[in-house]
């Protein structure tokens, strides 16, 4: 691979990593601030019990925690697969 | 608030199980420190464990570094006292981790050596950037340390009945032994052991609670709602001002990505891939821990009772230990108390080490000695800096006795989000970032956050007893973090720095490919031409 095309490939790879990172960061922001804004502006909904003992707020809080972890998992799967393969191609 | 006068609980009495477990923990960790000390011969081993920590180990160590007594005892207490509201904090403290994973962990690992200033200063002028970054680091570390030490003094006084000062000195002395002799290797293992103990202790406690409710958390929540009303499962007084909540949320979310003791841990793994995996493990462990804490809080409110909890500590901090006594007797109380002690030790050790890195690596080696200091001198200065910070932590802990320092953790997060995070992100992602931009962004972030907190109701009304505060919000993150970004960008655009944007290609290459550099003609030439003014960080062991 010539150094010029290698530069271009790295450029593209860097751009795609930042794109994935940005999308996932925004997803985290949406999940978290969605939760916070509901807490702030719709207390009755958050206090509503779907089942005895389970309010919407508790459910969503747990969902945000699990989502946050799942998003890091999605990133890891993408990075360990596609991203690392492209990196090792570049290193060659 | 004299713990020994509380009827019906062994809390605050010298508890033989607690003392046994505590001595066992200190004995084992000091043994580890002895072993680590013999392996710590270079600065890289002292600050980064020689890059030899595995991803899973670092995941546990990150969790151990982050899960403070405030999150264990504090959140359990908050949930016990106000139910659902505690979950708002748990969620806030967790969502910073995905941000660290996506934006920070890998670039940081590839670009830096011991501190986040390595990354910010990579293509900029070393001296001004290191000075500003060290200021940000030391401010965050100091406030965080004060909060931990004062918390330690109070908690240990409540848990073991020791005097406040004795407790602070014990925590300080043991922590100094870890850091001074064992450096990052000992600190890492202390954090791993603590994380395992804390997770195991909290899980066992939650299991014992859930056992009483047929392993159905909903039955537990329902019982709490029966005892304290349905509003305990709904948002309460914590979120009265939406703007305030968003501001706190921003500080918690982006502050984690600017905490020096957390960022430093990414240098202990061999490569970017391990850094990535370690945050994934850490996020899972911390998320699980917060879910468990939620069970503990409700368990305490139902099985111990809110009144009994506040009769021991008005803040509710004793909810988890009291719950342990109710479900498992004095022995379990002793175990959980010892775990709380271990928790504090692991956090202060991490904080002290990151402060020492700023003092010795950023200020001494880079600014004073311009990168010319020989290895043995760097290691000596690093140890002196740890000793100095350890003693300072004890002095500050004693000086702030009796003060309400809970706001200081919030302050530390706000400064981290405003002073450290914007400059760190811009230096990795924006070609046109400059020395002036970085320095002005970090200084603006630090000073605006400290100033606005000083003018906030927390200090003006709660602490100084004034009737009103100039700045209406308790947490300034919503103003100070965007401000630091704007200042950093504007100043960079007003005073462009050709050298910095020319070296961005090199940054980009190393950020993705790691420090092992195949020949890159352009970047290498630029590096060679500029190496006099800005010595590139030497590649780490990776």
| Dist. CA B345–CA B256, nearest whole Å | 20
Residue B408, burial from CB neighbour count under 10 angstroms (0-12, 13-18, 19+)? buried
Within 8 A of A82 by CB-CB distance, chain B residues are: none
- pLDDT, residue B224, reads 93
Per the domain annotation, does B422 fall within a domain? no
- pLDDT, residue B513, reads 84
Per the domain annotation, does B317 fall within a domain? yes
Which residue on chain B is closest to A77 by alpha carbon? Answer: B277
Q: Does B271 touch chain A (CB under 8 A)?
A: no
Residues B376-405 have pLDDT tens digits of 999 999 999 999 999 999 999 999 887 777
Within 8 A of A65 by CB-CB distance, chain B residues are: 90-91, 94, 287, 290-291
Tokens of B406: 């809970």
Domain residues for the domain of B109 are: 11-404
The answer to whether residue B220 scores a pLDDT higher than 60 is yes
- pLDDT, residue A89, reads 84
When mean pLDDT is compared across A55-59, B107-111, B212-216, B405-409, the lowest value belongs to B405-409
- pLDDT, residue B538, reads 46
The answer to whether residue B303 scores a pLDDT higher than 50 is yes
Those residues whose C-beta lies under 8 Å from the C-beta of residue B247, and which sit 6 or more positions away, are B473, B474, B475, B476, B477, B478, B479
Work out the pLDDT band at B18, boundaries 50, 70, 90: confident
Q: Note whether A53 contacts B219, CB cutoff 8 Å.
A: yes
Residues B431-483 have pLDDT tens digits of 999 999 999 999 999 999 999 999 988 888 888 888 888 888 888 999 999 99
The answer to whether residue B532 scores a pLDDT higher than 80 is no
The answer to whether residue B537 scores a pLDDT higher than 50 is no
Better-scored residue on pLDDT, B542 or B293 = B293
- pLDDT, residue B115, reads 94
Within 8 A of A75 by CB-CB distance, chain B residues are: 98, 101-102, 276, 280
The answer to whether residue B37 scores a pLDDT higher than 70 is yes
Better-scored residue on pLDDT, B36 or B5 = B36
Q: Does B524 touch chain A (CB under 8 A)?
A: no
- pLDDT, residue B160, reads 78
The answer to whether residue B540 scores a pLDDT higher than 70 is no
Across residues B300-316, what is the average pLDDT? Answer: 89
Q: Note whether B90 contacts A65, CB cutoff 8 Å.
A: yes
What CATH number should be reported for the domain holding residue B197? 1.20.1730.10
Across residues B495-514, what is the average pLDDT? Answer: 88
Q: Which of A62-92 are b and which e, b meaning 16 or more Cβ less than 10 Å from the residue's Cβ?
A: bebbbbbbbbbeebbebbeeebeebbeebee
From B469, B350, B488, B366, select the one nearest B112 (Cα to Cα). Answer: B366
Better-scored residue on pLDDT, B186 or B241 = B186
Q: What is the mean pLDDT of chain B?
A: 88
Per the domain annotation, does B18 fall within a domain? yes
Residue of A47, A65, A84 lying closest to B235 (CB–CB): A47
Q: What is the pTM of this model?
A: 0.90
- pLDDT, residue B533, reads 43
Domain boundaries, chain A: 3-91
The answer to whether residue B528 scores a pLDDT higher than 50 is no
| Dist. CA B510–CA B492, nearest whole Å | 22
| Dist. CA B18–CA B201, nearest whole Å | 13
- pLDDT, residue A87, reads 86
Q: Note whether A72 contacts B521, CB cutoff 8 Å.
A: no
Dmax over Cα atoms in chain A, in whole Å? 66
Residue of B276, B294, B509 lying closest to A79 (CB–CB): B276
- pLDDT, residue B313, reads 81
Q: Does B505 touch chain A (CB under 8 A)?
A: yes
Work out the pLDDT band at B408, boundaries 50, 70, 90: confident
| Dist. CA B5–CA B404, nearest whole Å | 23
Which residue on chain A is closest to B87 by alpha carbon? Answer: A61
Residues A3-39 have pLDDT tens digits of 678 778 888 888 999 999 999 999 999 999 999 889 8
Per the domain annotation, does B524 fall within a domain? no
- pLDDT, residue A24, reads 96
* Strand duo A49-51 + A54-55: pairing: antiparallel
Per the domain annotation, does B223 fall within a domain? yes
Work out the pLDDT band at B516, boundaries 50, 70, 90: low
| Dist. CA B88–CA B100, nearest whole Å | 20
From B14, B250, B520, select the one nearest A32 (Cα to Cα). Answer: B250
- pLDDT, residue B527, reads 43
Q: Which of B462-477 are b and which e, b meaning 16 or more Cβ less than 10 Å from the residue's Cβ?
A: eeeeeeebebebbbbb
Residues B255-291 have pLDDT tens digits of 999 999 999 999 999 999 999 999 999 999 999 999 9
Alpha-carbon distances, residue A42 vs A38, A45, B85, B184 (angstroms): 5, 6, 14, 46
Residues B97-110 have pLDDT tens digits of 999 999 999 999 99
Those residues whose C-beta lies under 8 Å from the C-beta of residue B239, and which sit 6 or more positions away, are A36, A39, A40, B85, B88, B245
Percent of chain B surpassing pLDDT 90 = 62
- The alpha-carbon radius of gyration of chain B (Å, integer) is 23
Per the domain annotation, does B466 fall within a domain? no
A3 vs chain B: nearest CA distance in angstroms?
8
> Which ipTM was obtained for this model?
0.94
The answer to whether residue B309 scores a pLDDT higher than 50 is yes
Q: How many domains does chain B have?
A: 1
Across residues B115-133, what is the average pLDDT? Answer: 93
Tokens of B189: 């293992």
Per the domain annotation, does B454 fall within a domain? no
Residue B313, burial from CB neighbour count under 10 angstroms (0-12, 13-18, 19+)? buried
Percent of chain A surpassing pLDDT 90 = 57
Percent of chain B surpassing pLDDT 70 = 93
For residue A54, give the H/E element and its range: strand A54-55
When mean pLDDT is compared across B50-64, B437-451, B509-523, the lowest value belongs to B509-523
From B230, B211, B206, B236, select the one nearest B298 (Cα to Cα). Answer: B206
- pLDDT, residue B464, reads 84
Q: Which of B490-501 are b and which e, b meaning 16 or more Cβ less than 10 Å from the residue's Cβ?
A: ebbeeeebebbb
Residue of A11, A25, A55 lying closest to B102 (CB–CB): A25
Backbone angles phi, psi at A50, to 5 degrees: -75, -45
Per the domain annotation, does B436 fall within a domain? no
Q: Note whether A41 contacts B242, CB cutoff 8 Å.
A: yes
- pLDDT, residue B127, reads 93
- pLDDT, residue A2, reads 59
């Amino acid at each position: 691979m010539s150094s010029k095309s290698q530069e271009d490939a790295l450029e593209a790879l860097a751009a795609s990593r930042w794109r994935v990172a940005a999308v996932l960061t925004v997803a985290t922001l949406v999940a978290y601030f969605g939760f916070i804004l509901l807490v702030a502006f719709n207390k009755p909904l958050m206090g509503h019990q779907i089942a005895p003992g389970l309010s919407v707020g508790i459910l969503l809080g747990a969902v945000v925690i699990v989502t946050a972890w799942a998003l890091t998992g999605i990133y890891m799967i993408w990075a360990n697969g596609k991203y690392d393969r492209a990196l090792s191609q570049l290193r060659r | 608030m004299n713990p020994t006068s509380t009827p019906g609980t062994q809390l605050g009495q010298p508890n033989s199980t607690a003392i046994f477990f505590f001595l066992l923990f200190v004995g084992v960790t000091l043994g580890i420190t002895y072993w680590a000390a013999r392996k710590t011969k270079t600065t890289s081993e002292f600050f980064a464990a020689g890059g030899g920590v595995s991803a899973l180990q670092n995941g546990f160590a990150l969790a151990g570094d982050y899960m403070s007594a405030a999150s264990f005892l504090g959140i359990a207490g908050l949930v016990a006292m106000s139910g659902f509201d505690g979950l708002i904090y748990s969620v806030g403290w967790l969502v910073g981790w995905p941000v660290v994973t996506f934006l920070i962990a890998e670039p940081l690992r590839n670009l830096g050596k011991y501190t986040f200033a390595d990354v910010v200063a990579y293509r900029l002028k070393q001296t001004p950037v290191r000075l500003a970054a060290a200021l940000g680091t030391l401010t965050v570390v100091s406030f965080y340390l004060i909060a931990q030490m004062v918390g330690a003094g109070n908690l240990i006084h409540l848990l073991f009945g020791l005097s406040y000062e004795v407790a602070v000195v014990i925590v300080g002395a043991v922590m100094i032994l870890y850091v001074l002799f064992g450096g990052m290797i000992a600190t890492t293992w202390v954090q791993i052991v603590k994380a395992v103990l804390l997770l195991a202790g909290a899980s066992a406690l939650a299991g014992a609670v859930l056992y009483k409710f047929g392993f159905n958390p909903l039955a537990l929540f329902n019982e709490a709602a029966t005892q304290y009303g349905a509003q305990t499962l709904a948002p309460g007084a914590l979120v009265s001002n939406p703007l305030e909540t968003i501001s706190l949320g921003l500080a918690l979310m982006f502050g984690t990505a600017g905490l020096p003791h957390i960022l430093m841990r990414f240098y202990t793994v061999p490569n970017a891939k391990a850094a990535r995996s370690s945050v994934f493990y850490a996020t899972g462990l911390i998320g699980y821990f917060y879910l468990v804490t939620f069970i503990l809080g409700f368990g305490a409110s139902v099985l111990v009772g809110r009144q009994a909890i506040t009769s021991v500590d008005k803040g509710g901090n004793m909810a988890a230990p009291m719950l342990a006594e109710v479900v498992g007797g004095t022995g379990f109380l002793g175990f959980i108390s010892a775990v709380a002690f271990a928790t504090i030790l692991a956090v202060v050790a991490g904080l002290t080490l990151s402060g020492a890195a700023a003092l010795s690596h950023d200020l001494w080696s880079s600014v004073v000695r311009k990168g010319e200091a020989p290895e043995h001198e760097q290691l000596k200065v690093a140890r002196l800096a740890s000793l100095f910070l350890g003693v300072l932590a004890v002095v500050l802990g004693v000086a702030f006795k009796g003060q309400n320092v809970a706001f200081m953790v919030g302050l530390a997060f706000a400064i981290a989000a405003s002073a450290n995070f914007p400059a760190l992100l811009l230096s990795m992602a924006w070609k046109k970032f400059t020395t002036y931009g970085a320095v002005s962004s970090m200084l603006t972030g630090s000073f605006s956050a400290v100033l606005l907190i000083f003018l906030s109701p927390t200090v003006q009304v709660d602490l100084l007893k004034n009737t009103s505060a100039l700045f209406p919000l308790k947490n300034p993150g919503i103003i100070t973090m965007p401000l630091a970004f704007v200042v950093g960008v504007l100043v960079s655009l007003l005073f462009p720095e050709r050298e910095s944007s020319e070296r961005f290609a090199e940054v980009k290459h190393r950020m993705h490919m790691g420090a092992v550099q195949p020949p890159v003609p352009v970047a290498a030439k630029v590096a060679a031409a500029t190496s006099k003014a800005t010595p590139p960080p030497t590649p780490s062991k990776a």
